[in-house]
Chain A
């Protein structure tokens, strides 16, 4: 792909850096989808087992994280009007990440790599520390202050905590040394990563992207501010409560705060949506709206787990449904929906922009028709709902059918992005 002239988006990093992250993330999506369909029948039982640890980390570190990091490197310089502090450091972090994560996931999945597991985990954690340092230094140089910036900064802080806990857990898995219960720390790690990093990042970035893509103007930020505070009350209560097993009152407070945070987030998104100038809504918006449904269900199940009855067979299945809804339902839907916006825009930027003013060029949206996106959307969410039902009623056949639809949707998604990448002026 031809490089864009210097005048284009002065602060954006090289397209290759973003392509590398998105490419790794799409490979992770395909591997996760394939693994899910091949092992769908076995996705049941207690979550601390090699298969589930491997699957969850393949989903998070293989698929969601590289795309989130790539999108951050594209978005932060543009929104905050300052270039990435060091593109070289971003590449170093990427290479370390791409080398460490496959070994780490293989180690979790097989439980057969010995010391390679914590070493690879530490490599992945070091890569993420480098990313966070670089992005935090970039944000610190910006004079532009915004609600999205606060969310991104907070998300990076929670990411630091999550990967540090993750690295400690990886060493503890190989040779127990931590004075705390491993499963309790694992729960704290999962929530620091899920709600702290992905939750806050998606919320903060969603406000900015939705305003931009819906051409929405003038919505009050009050609900977004309330969401930021409420989610932090939830996290600052929940993470220590899980790590130190503080009991139900703390979990109840965290669940209530998280519910307020989710409600405020949805209120903010609704405010932006109501003030939109573009009345036509596309598949990306449908992905966002569906993600909000998954997020609400996640919060409801989380509250149920915090306050619910003593252990019953069906209650034991809820943590799997909770994690699946949060990661694949909420985060996965947002990631796919926004990639349908970001990738065409980047292709347009680097390939079609030089012709603006000289001849009629298609808009970013015209680079891919709506129909293939709609089919992919239907396949993905039919698959997710079937898989989730299969988890909740412990029906292996339903999980396999759901995973099959999901893998088909993943292949179609990659094909759709391929069509966009192949477009020429």
Chain B
């Protein structure tokens, strides 16, 4: 398998893993909530880079969500470290919620 293919597999596993990390208030997972902007796996360092946001800069659970992302992704095989970068550019909007997430919130 190519290096790019191997990285894509880890990134897919990471995305699946983040389906298990939920926002404490809405109980919606971070992926469907649209908080994860980018996942990048570096083969050479075996580290995962996460670019993510929060629904608001003043989110009271912000630190916990970030810690949860690090904890969950650290459990993945082939991952020696996780680097989470928080950004509000662009800011989160409800448009980022997936159709599955919308169905969950409206249910």
Partner of A279, one of B62, B66, B105: B105
B94 → chain A closest CB, angstroms: 5
Name which of A3-11, A199-207, A384-392, A409-417 contacts chain B.
A3-11
| B interface residues, tally (CB under 8 Å) | 34
In B31-61, which residues have CB < 8 Å from any A CB? Answer: 55-61
A210 within 8 A of B: no
Type the 1/0 row for B91-107, where 1 means its CB is closer than 8 Å to any CB of A.
00110010000100111
Residue of A at shortest CB range from B27? A363
| Interfacial chain B residues near A278, Cβ < 8 Å | 26, 105
Segment touching B, from A89-97, A220-228, A351-359: A351-359
Q: In the complex, how many angstroms separate the beta carbon of A196 from the nearest chain B beta carbon?
A: 25
Is B77 located at the chain interface by the 8 A CB criterion? no
A277 touches B94 (CB 8 A): yes
Residues A215 and B26 in contact, CB atoms below 8 Å apart? yes
B64 adjacent to A353 (CB under 8 Å): yes
Tell me if A81 is interfacial: C-beta within 8 Å of chain B: yes
Interface residue A345 (Cβ < 8 Å from any Cβ of B):
yes
Rounded to whole Å, the gap between the CB of A98 and the closest CB of chain B is: 26
- Contacts A79-B58, A353-B64: A348 and B24 contacting too (C-beta < 8 A)? yes
Number of A-B contacts (CB under 8 A): 96
Please state if B58 and A366 are interface contacts (CB–CB under 8 Å).
Answer: no
Contact of A9 with B69 in the complex, beta carbons under 8 Å? no
Q: Within 8 Å CB of A212, what residues of B? A: 25, 56, 59-60
> Is the Cβ of A9 less than 8 Å from the Cβ of B93?
no
Write out, one digit per residue, whether chain B residues 58-99 have a CB within 8 A of any chain A CB (1) or not (0). 111111111111111101000000000000000001100100
Whether A364 and B25, one on each chain, are in contact in the complex, defined by CB atoms closer than 8 angstroms, is yes
- Choose one: B58, B61, B75, B93; the contact of A144 (CB below 8 Å): B58
Please tell me if the beta carbons of A217 and B94 are within 8 angstroms of each other in the complex: yes
- Asked if residues A8 and B94 are in contact (CB atoms below 8 Å), the reply is no
Nearest 4 CB-CB pairings of A with B: A357-B71, A356-B68, A357-B72, A357-B68
**Further 11 A-B residue pairs, CB within 8 A, beyond A345-B61, A365-B27:** A7-B63, A78-B60, A212-B56, A212-B60, A215-B25, A215-B94, A278-B105, A356-B24, A356-B64, A361-B22, A364-B25
| Interface of B toward A, CB cutoff 8 Å | 20-22, 24-27, 55-73, 75, 93-94, 97, 102, 105-107
